[in-house]
Structure 1
Amino acid sequence: MTILNFTSRLGIALLLGAFIGIERQWRQKSAGLRTNTLVSLGSAAFILLSISITANTGDQSRIAAQIVTGIGFLGAGVIMKDGMSVHGLNTAATIWCSAAVGSLAGIGLFAEATIVTIAIMLTHLVLRPLGNKLSKLPYIKSDIAQTEYLFTIKCKEIVENHIRILLIQHLGNDDKLLMRSLTSSDNGDPNNAIITAEITSISPQDLLMEKVASRLTIERDVMKVKWEVVGAQTDV
């Protein structure tokens, strides 16, 4: 590779990285003009190094792969967590893209590097106001929610089938409820049975669960009835 070719590729990487950095500097981001320029320039330099030392006898992609890894550490340095908010993700992504621009310029794909640069600039200039408008729109949660219940009944073994039938009658025939499982175990005591039912509801049905629990509590040979909410999901 001639010095002229080396310099031209490095210059294109520097120029395109500077274009990206100008927009970032204007937005007063932590990674601005110099950072993006240096990232693009350094990526191009490593690509040129790879081309120079491997020529046609080695794998030129090995150094390019290490560029991606190295940029990951650099991008992590600009990401900051403030309470429940995370800042710097866009800046880190821009640095990553700047490395891609430099790599493209370094390998001699000038048109492709320019296209990627334009795409990065348009992403920041066009999608930023659109994102701000979307953030201001009210978010309406869906009224369709799923609540998962766990029903546990401890009773004598002789009334196990009777209690299972009652449970199915009260909960299994409701259109709003789905009985996902109904199991029994003796928990090491053959005289007793522990009945467990997993139930999914399309809406909270705490009052119904309490009524069914109260009804089963007064049954003969029933020692314990317990229900609890084990999960809730909103269909978004």
Structure 2
Amino acid sequence: MRVEIWSDVACPWCYVGKARFEKALAAFPHRDQVEVVHRSFELDPGRAKGDSGLVLPMLMRKYGLTEDKARAAEQNLAQNAAAEGLTYLTEGRDHGSTFDMHRVLHLAKAHGRMDTLFGILYRANFAEERSVFDDDERLVELAVEAGLDADDVRKVLADPAAYADDVRADEREAAELGANGVPFFVLDRAVGVSGAQPAEVFTRALTQAWDAKPRLATVAGGEDGEVCGPDGCAVPQR
């Protein structure tokens, strides 16, 4: 069975959703027969390289929040992450274009290291203070940690066309499947799961997909199925 996951490095619910899915997959009886494939999705595809900024002012601007409410929203996300054993910094993080990251992720895919690099990029973005945006050598360093060759990564970063078509193809396919937010999971092209659903929803989806349903059906999830989309990420209120 093949599971495709559309996500973005800048998406906090993708960070949480990956952990929840992996928890369900670890307990799935047929987990050794499940192939996981990551697909690209930029939350802000028109954003220029070099255009980065702190997360809290972005939340205040995008959602019209006061600084106190923006901080509370980040604290709630941190609590969701902590429940999955993840570290989530609520202060000092920035955000920016992820296009180069996705291009390097496709290089990692060619070497069988895409899942590893996704995990490293999530950790670097959400759990570490040093920025992953607009610093090519930082990205090279993280890719090397995932097992890639530094010179190969630098060549990709130096060529704006390298793997660009692969990123755009993933994004077009997401649109064709009706995904307007991430994380978005497609299991064997039979079952779709939208959002960072609880692990039990992923367990149900894996079981349903294993039965080889003939068409894509969206699994209705619980209230924890938050997503990030072009207009931003769901801001938890609880």
Q: TM-score, normalised by structure 1?
A: 0.23
Q: Structure with the greater relative contact order (CA < 8 A, sep ≥ 6): 1 or 2?
A: 2
Q: Whose helix fraction is larger, Structure 1's or Structure 2's? A: 1
